[in-house]
Structure 1
């Protein structure tokens, strides 16, 4: 069996694609998933104070790692500016480690789809990889706060779908979730039936969409009915005139992380 690479490197670039990186970013090339039998790169962003103190940090696992930090690898050259956002939030006293696996390319729609009966979804195996393989590696190699209340998951579109599913169905691992422009239409709305009878899970949920894309209003209503408090542990945002784009998620990222990571 192949073994996961354990050598974290400083994030570098090719001459053709200079990086647009702020802060300390590391990359693990070819991390192996025994659950999915695939390899992928994983990017880790470290807070500004990481090498100046001995403290431990909360961790946010974000989907679509190649789109988050570097315009040279991002879809359409539009990155989410997660590194710049985290550097700025650090000046407000909000710091966290960001763990960002690359998506599986053409297999992305399967890996972020938790419903095996819909297009042979493998999302549950993907979440098993995060929980059973990647998270133990991250907790071993970096100074994390490993408890669920300090561990979150975030993504957009299909990544938003798998993040919402993970919050309820991997609740022993993830204590908060960021769900941006979620693809809740997958499987004719299979996520609603999945969550309808799921027990209440303690933690924060950030949910959003642009006014020019499919609304997450139905999910917001379901979560309120389930007991989540719009003035406390649930924040639903609708950005006027925003579409389903990387740049829209970049704009909403600072407030999403303020809500999820702030006290």
Structure 2
């Protein structure tokens, strides 16, 4: 999960600090006329760590196998964009097609997109990643295993030098399974069997619906305040 988020935020290797300029996010979107929102589902990978911050006993046993998100998750792509439009009181947001974006490289079965060569100047990006967590218990000598599915929304403006300016960004929630204990470090087959991806589909939906509502309320307040100042 950490690697995916880091990579998503480092696509062009050059960043600017978050910026909003004089216009609010809603104003910028309205002025663009149409803004694509791309949704990237990253492979679900093993993430051995420790709840205490110390070295996890499972780091040396990290497996390379990954799982792809199911079509049931991907079917939510249009629903998410429609919900953003509805909650932000917009019509300008459209679901973008990632297959049209040049691929810069691939790492751990995940495509790294070359946004500097995409032709996009202002766009939304939603990252959905997953982690097979294996953390050392703080109370016993056992390993705590779980599946986490975090999502994040970013609105990005491309700079002339190829850098990226993050206009707004927010979490869209993290769907988490119940923990299952084991006496040792488990392999891919264990996680595949014990943590079916679709078991978290409802939590995934509830998470993004709640977070988008909260995000929209904040953006609408900023927009309303900006409009009052113009009167």
TM-score over 0.5 for the alignment? no
Give the structure with higher Rg (CA): 2
Structure 1 or 2: more strand by fraction: 2
Higher RCO structure, 1 or 2 (CA under 8 Å, sep 6+): 2
Q: TM-score, normalised by structure 2?
A: 0.33
- TM-score, scaled relative to structure 1: 0.30
